[in-house]
Structure 1
Amino acid sequence: MPSIQFTSLHFVLFQICGFIILVNFGYSEWTADKEDGHCVMYDQCGQGTFGQVNCLYNGSAQLLVNEETIKILKKICPEFQDEVYPRTCCSKLQVEKLLKDLKFPRRLGFGRCPSCIRNFQQMFCQLTCSPRQSRFLRVIETKENDHGQTTVEELEYFISLKYAEELFSSCENVEGIFPGTSLLKDMMCGIWGRKCNPQRWLEFMGSTPKNFGFSPFQINYVLLNETENDIDGQLFYPMNEKTTKCSEPSELEGEACLCKDCPLVCNSS
């Protein structure tokens, strides 16, 4: 892939992924020791090497009470609609940062396809705010900052292979800057370009500049077939929220993607 694509991606992907980072305690404290799950991070701990970092928090989800924050969260993450005052693993600052960061993939072009942007946002909504983070997140490496707070350097995000494939499928044909190009493959998959697939796309988005990507910390996306997985003696349950096909209206908008961004729409018309 030409270097100019990395240059244009630097700002965009840095912003998209800039809201994610965590921290260091005993290894067993990071794992999914309760089937119902709990938080592994909460609130922000200042600026890390590549962006804002989050604080380690090994405990129950917290109640969101700020009305404006709740309104923002429910707008970008409809999965929290059912609760008047939802319990989440994200603070007011994190919700505001999430809103800011998710504007970039929209403006880049994913916003033209409601189901694509919904599926894409949902992956980060779950990562950032799910009250059951420990079911599908595991911290691998951490360090302590200058203020004595521990920040995460590396994280595993267990995702259903089915979810990853359906997310990819809903976005892969969204047109890029030039007619006939793929925004995902030609701009958002690094060196893989047209050889992009779900695993390679997620690997690129989760990589730090040290690994030729733009994430503020290393996120290892682990795609799994099973709904329950014993990993190093701990049970993990891959994130597997409902996805929407590009030919179907999403929860965000009551319309499907355009024909040029979704072949399924063209075939059904």
Structure 2
Amino acid sequence: MGTLVVALCALLATQIFATVDGAKCIMRGACDQDGIRGSCAYDGEPQVIDKPEARALLEGICGDVFANSSQPLCCDADQLDDFHENFESARVLGLDNCPACSVNFRALLCSITCSPRQSDFLRLIKTAVNEEDKTTHVAEVDYYLTPSFVNGLFDSCVDTRSRISSIPLLNFMCGKWAQNCTAERWLGFLGSTPSRGGLSPFDINFVQLTQPRVVDGTTYLPLPLEPQKCNESRGRVSACSCEHCKAAC
């Protein structure tokens, strides 16, 4: 899996995540919420993942997006176990059939889960307390992205066929919208909790920005991810085939 993200990683590692001075997390660690494993609220510095096995999982899923797996990050070993399991489900459906789709999708989720600069592009909206163990978990966040990444992510995946009778992949990943999926509807489903028909452990509002936004005196920046087009090769990531990318035909 790691080979799919190498090219994007090379571009992102030095531009986005290489410097962590002054960076903060808004969440870190795994907390149970209503029977679902979610993220613990955490207002603090990124921490080094001390388990080699966990770092290996990170490298397998996110490659070198984070400069190196030994740097301080906003995720821990427990989260990475869950993260790996979720990605395996997407892979079974056919996420890897189009390398660009896989690269862009992984970048979206690797960033929100582990980036050492979460507080730059994530705004914590709501938390809740688990009455059994008294842990505070994340209930809702705003995730700031550029329109170019949102549209590029969707465009790279919209033609990807699943491994199930070649049905479009997004028919399975866009909830009730299925064949009527759009970029906004897809992100809306990805960010919805089970009570709203989704699978996310907490509500994620994907907000598109073209410039910084100031909220209550805090400046937020859209995550500067550059999507890979499905018909282009980048480094060791090859262009998608015509079957999974109309632009490649």
Are the structure 2 counterparts of residues 245 and 164 from structure 1 closer, same or farther at C-alpha, using a change threshold of 3 Å?
A: same
1:67 Cα deviation from its structure 2 partner: 2.4
Residue equivalent to 1:237:
221
In 2: Cα distance, 1:213 partner to 1:263 partner: 28
Are the structure 2 counterparts of residues 151 and 112 from structure 1 closer, same or farther at C-alpha, using a change threshold of 3 Å?
A: same
In 2: Cα distance, 1:241 partner to 1:221 partner: 14
Alignment of 1:147-162 (within 5 A): 147-162=133-148
Q: Which amino acid in structure 2 is aligned with residue 206 of structure 1?
A: G
Residue equivalent to 2:123:
138
In 2: Cα distance, 1:199 partner to 1:37 partner: 29
1:101 Cα deviation from its structure 2 partner: 1.0
Are the structure 2 counterparts of residues 73 and 250 from structure 1 closer, same or farther at C-alpha, using a change threshold of 3 Å?
A: farther
Contact 2:144 2:206 in 1 (8 A): yes
Q: Which amino acid in structure 2 is aligned with residue 122 of structure 1?
A: A
1:246 alignment partner, SS class: coil
Alignment of 1:57-206 (within 5 A): 57-80=42-65, 82-83=67-68, 85-145=70-130, 146-176=132-162, 177-179=164-166, 181-184=167-170, 186-206=171-191
Number of aligned pairs? 228
Pick which of 202-211 and 253-262 moved more.
253-262
Contact 1:55 1:151 in 2 (8 A): yes
Residue equivalent to 2:196:
211
In structure 2, the gaps of 5 or more residues are 1-19
Are the structure 2 counterparts of residues 68 and 263 from structure 1 closer, same or farther at C-alpha, using a change threshold of 3 Å?
A: same
**What is the TM-score when the length of structure 1 is the normalising length?**
0.78
**What is the TM-score when the length of structure 2 is the normalising length?**
0.83
Runs of 4+ in structure 1 off by over 4 angstroms are none
1:249 Cα deviation from its structure 2 partner: 3.6
Q: Which amino acid in structure 1 is aligned with residue 114 of structure 2?
A: C
1:261 Cα deviation from its structure 2 partner: 0.3
Q: Which amino acid in structure 1 is aligned with residue 155 of structure 2?
A: S
Contact 1:50 1:217 in 2 (8 A): no
In 1: Cα distance, 2:153 partner to 2:35 partner: 26
1:50 Cα deviation from its structure 2 partner: 5.1
The alignment status of 1:265 with 2:243, answered yes or no, reads no
In 1: Cα distance, 2:188 partner to 2:239 partner: 28
1:140 Cα deviation from its structure 2 partner: 1.4
1:35 Cα deviation from its structure 2 partner: 9.4
Q: Which amino acid in structure 2 is aligned with residue 91 of structure 1?
A: D
Identical positions, percent: 35
RMSD: 2.1
Alignment of 1:238-253 (within 5 A): 238-249=222-233
Are the structure 2 counterparts of residues 69 and 250 from structure 1 closer, same or farther at C-alpha, using a change threshold of 3 Å?
A: farther
In 2: Cα distance, 1:91 partner to 1:65 partner: 9
In structure 1, the gaps of 5 or more residues are 1-33
Contact 2:149 2:227 in 1 (8 A): yes
